[in-house]
Each structure stands twice: as structure tokens, then as C-alpha cells.
Structure 1
Amino acid sequence: MSTTLVTADELAAHLDDPHWRIFDCRHDLQDIGYGEKAYLKGHIPGALFLHLDRDLSGEKNGANGRHPLPGKEAFAAKMAACGVGPDTQVVAYDNEGSIFASRLWWMLRWVGHEKVAVLDGGVPCWRRAKREFETAVPTYPPAPFAVRAGALPYGADDVLERLDDPQFLILDARAPERFSGEEENLDPVGGHLPGAINRFYFDNLDDAGCFFKTAEELREEFDAVLKGRLPQNVIQQCGSGVTACHNLLAMEVAGLNGSRLYAGSWSEWCADPSRPIATGE
């Protein structure tokens, strides 16, 4: 069972394995049709496509952020329709440093499915290994996927209660300029949660921005940020609950298990003017 990362060789060895299911999660926040077009142009054999807005997010109401979670039952029904059963090994990939694949990884853990991993390196890794792509869209028989107890996200009130608790750490995965509030091109308000620390998700990757750093490198870097705090007391946050999953996955790779996602993240937080905000580094 793979629960964090798989290599291209590992995935290639299971392309014909009926107990494995592959999902293409490519996306562009500025061009929401990009991922599906790229998938149809060529994808890893056997992969199905999942769209961030349609499949990995729920309905927006103006106060719950840009990518609110869907209902658990609706997401479970989607997985069942894709042929994911309780014993299926799921592998997610994208072309964006694994940020969207990490969202699917976390969501499956959220509904109690532990057998899920991310293809380390994504599309660039698969291409670099000279592996084949295909254009055919596969179909699979439905499977009996059911919601089980899984990872618990935090809500805005949960985070608010912990803002001044020194045992907790809020880790913001956004780029430094968005964290500081100097630049904000996605949300109407710039800044960050008071007391949060910036850990740009891209820092989890190697110098080429492709593969995750080694577990040892990640452990050293996150230990320096946690400063002795328990991993279970880390609140993962970003703009809309997507790239925060990348930090959560990186901590799991490093053996720092149990941090929790603030699913609504900054886009939900800043929608309520009564919530405190901070700017600067």
C-alpha cells in the first residue's frame, strides 16, 4: 500500500493492475479549461480526469472560500462511479508540482481511504522517463466506495479559537508576496492569519521544481519551522485549501504525521471582515 508518493517505475508496473486507479488532476487557476484539454491531448494510460472545480470542490456561497469541500457523500459517489473501491490503490498526478494531485490525496484521506498516493514528479517525470501517453478515455465499472472515518479538517471557528495558543502553528502555503499582502491576485483582501508562518509549497520540491525533496531534507526543514510543536498541532492553510495539502503531504513524507487542513483557508477567512488579519512578513 502506498500512502504518500509513488515513482514512475512503480506506477508503470501497475498500469494493468485492476486494483489501481489513476487520476489526472491538471489545472490552471487562470484557465480552468486547461486541465481537461491537456488530458484529452494525452494522459497516462488508464487515467481518468478530475476537475478541481467540478469534482474536487463543492458549491460556493460567497462565504466558504474559492474551493469549498463538496459533501462527503457526493465525493464518495464520484469515486465509486470511477471504480474506486475500498481496496483500490489510487494514484493522483498533475503538471503543476503536485499541488492539485495533493488535493485529491487529502480528500480521499478525508473520507477514510488510506490507499492513495501522488506520482512524484507528475507529468514531467513520466515524460522524462519516456513513458507512453494515450488519448483514449477509459471507463470502469462502479465500485462499492463508502465514506469511513478519516482526516478531520478545521473550520474558521476552530482556527479562531487557536490563534493565540502557542502550542498551535498555522502554516501558510502561499507564495511570500501573497502571504505578506504585497500582491493578491486571487482574493479581494491581502494578508494572512495573525501568527501564521509562511512555508511556500514550492519549497517542498527539488531545485527543478519537479520531485519532492527527500524525507530527510523535508524533516529538517519542517522541524526548523515547527520549533518543537507537535505535528498534530499544525494547521495547514493557503488561499483556498489546495496548496496547503502539498505541505500536509510533505510533512507526511517527512514522517511528521497528523497535521490538519483548514479547508476554507484565506479565501474563506477574509470573506468575513470581523476576522483579524495581518500583513507583512
Structure 2
Amino acid sequence: MSLQTLVDATTVRDWLTQDRSVRILDCRARLGDPDAGRRLWREGHLPGSRHLDLEADLSDPAGEGGRHPLPDPGRFTATLHRLGITPAVPVIVYDDAGGQLAAARAWWLLHVWAGHPDVRVLDGGIAAWQDAGGALESGEPVAPVAASNWEPTFDGTAWISADTVAKGELTLVDARTRERYRGEVEPIDPVAGHIPEAVCRPSAANLDAEGRFKTPSRLDAELPQSEASYCGSGVTACHNILAYAIAGRALPKLYAGSWSHWIRDPARPVATGD
């Protein structure tokens, strides 16, 4: 499987001008406000884009699996059918955080896990689109999407469980901020700290000052050795995995449950500090 990663706003604008067949998915979200993503999409989105919801489409309900467990394969397949996604049509995903929140998660689910051959994150997100002179649409699309019948083959080796992490055999990288990694603050989960022996690479470090991904060579120089990636709930960990793809490095596995799952078992060890 070839690794597709990014697309720039000018290219997307050219594709739309040429009426190139492409499916665009708006993945904006706000943690703690499950209605925000769809509201933002209605207020203004890339022409022809459809909303892909972090809570409803890109995750199963929070619970034993953590705050954002992987969606059930059958349910995710139904989402792909509803959105008319097929391997024959390129998919572009975007958010308003440089891919740091839900767009990279969508990329991972569609491309790495489900095996769609051409899924790309809009580099710089909706801000880059507007900076390039791209117009926004508002409201619900008038034209319906023709449902697809694609039945993806999901790669069960792309993600790992807590039991695999607990063996301590994989080099583990934490995508959260250094303050959360050290256990100095924890604004979301009930326990602070990190998985022992993990190293910290905040996902925000993958972007430059303009909110675009750093160059492949710079990412390659900065990214630590990693065989597995985690974060708070398995979302920003995908941003780090995407960064490894951009750098041309082997992709880390995703610890899907991440920290919010790890701490559900009080017997699992917790580390603080550096």
C-alpha cells in the first residue's frame, strides 16, 4: 500500500475547478462539545464537503475501550457507504487544527486501517484553504451523495492492545503535551502521567508556525524512534503516525485505547516526570 499523506489548498482548488472526482470530508471537532463539529460545518465548509463526526463516525462510544475507541468495523463500513466512499475516488480530509485533532484520525482509519489507496490531509486545514482564496459554502448540501458498496478489509495489525503495550517490547511515543506527559496537568483524564518508558513527542511539534506540516527532512530529523504511538484517547496519536508517513519512516502502530484506556486498570503502572 502506497502512503498518501498531504495535499495543499491550491491543488484542491484546482481539482474542484476542473471538476475532478474527489470526496472531501470536514472533520472539525471540539472535545467536550459533541455538536460543535457539525455546527461549524454548517456555518462554512469547503465546497461539496460532507461532515465526518469524531464522536459518531470516527469512534465508538466512550467506555471500557477509552474515550475514543476505534469504531466497530461494520459501523464504520456503513459510514463509508453513506458518504459514497470507494477506492476509486480520492478522499481529502481536513479540520481547523492542522490535522491535529480529527483529520489525522480520519486519515488513519480510512487509509491505514481500512486500506483506501488515496486519502490525504489538507495541509493547514480550512485556514489554508481560505488563505489560498478558496470560498466556503454554508448549510446542508443540496445534491445527495450516491451510496457506495465498498467492503474494506481492515488491517488488524495496524493497532495494538494494552496487553501488547504492557509487554514493554515496543518503543512507545506519547503525542500529548509535555505537561500532560510529565503529569503536571491533566485537564481531561482522571489520572495524570504517562506509560512507563514512553518518550514524548507532542503532536503540535509536527507543524510549523503557519500550522502546516514541517518538511519531510525536518520531520525525519526530529521524530524519535517509534514502534507504537498513543495519546489521550487515540486521536492525536494519529497525527504523529501521519508525521512518520510524511517523513518516509515506518509507521508506528496505534495504541487505540491510549491513556484513557490504560488508566482504567489500576494495576497498570503510571510514570510521572521526564
Shared fold, TM over 0.5: yes
Q: Equivalents in 2 of 1:114, 1:205: separation in Å?
A: 24
- Measured after TM superposition, the shift of residue 212 of structure 1 is 0.2
Amino acid at match of 1:207: A
Which of 162, 166, 172 is equivalent to 1:160? 166
- Measured after TM superposition, the shift of residue 33 of structure 1 is 2.0
Amino acid at match of 2:174: D
Matched residue pairs, number?
267
Alignment partner, residue 132 of structure 1? 135
Structure 2: gaps (5+ residues): none
- Is residue 2:143 matched to residue 1:146? no
- Is residue 2:103 matched to residue 1:110? no
Judged with a 3 Å threshold, the aligned counterparts in structure 2 of structure 1 residues 88 and 56 are, in CA distance, closer, same or farther, namely same
> Are the equivalent residues in 1 in contact too, given 2:3–2:245 (CA < 8 A)?
no
Amino acid at match of 1:43: H
Cα RMSD over matched residues? 1.5
Amino acid at match of 2:97: E
- Measured after TM superposition, the shift of residue 258 of structure 1 is 2.5
TM-score (norm 2): 0.93
Structure 1: gaps (5+ residues): none
| 1:14 partner SS | helix
| 2:173 partner SS | strand
- Measured after TM superposition, the shift of residue 2 of structure 1 is 7.4
- What do the CA deviations read for 1:111-155 (whole angstroms, capped 9, x no partner)? 121311100000110111111000143321001211214362101
Q: Equivalents in 2 of 1:258, 1:17: separation in Å?
A: 33
TM-score (norm 1): 0.91
Alignment partner, residue 5 of structure 2? 4
Q: Equivalents in 2 of 1:98, 1:238: separation in Å?
A: 15
- Measured after TM superposition, the shift of residue 36 of structure 1 is 1.2
Alignment partner, residue 191 of structure 2? 189
> Are the equivalent residues in 2 in contact too, given 1:73–1:147 (CA < 8 A)?
no
Q: Higher mean Cα deviation, 195-204 or 52-61?
A: 52-61
Amino acid at match of 1:124: A
Mapping of 1:167-246 within 5 angstroms?
168-208=170-210, 210-222=211-223, 225-226=224-225, 234-246=227-239
Q: Equivalents in 1 of 2:103, 2:3: separation in Å?
A: 15
- Is residue 2:88 matched to residue 1:83? no
- Measured after TM superposition, the shift of residue 44 of structure 1 is 0.1
Amino acid at match of 1:276: P
Q: Higher mean Cα deviation, 109-118 or 142-151?
A: 142-151
- Measured after TM superposition, the shift of residue 60 of structure 1 is 2.6
Judged with a 3 Å threshold, the aligned counterparts in structure 2 of structure 1 residues 88 and 2 are, in CA distance, closer, same or farther, namely farther
Q: Equivalents in 1 of 2:93, 2:52: separation in Å?
A: 10
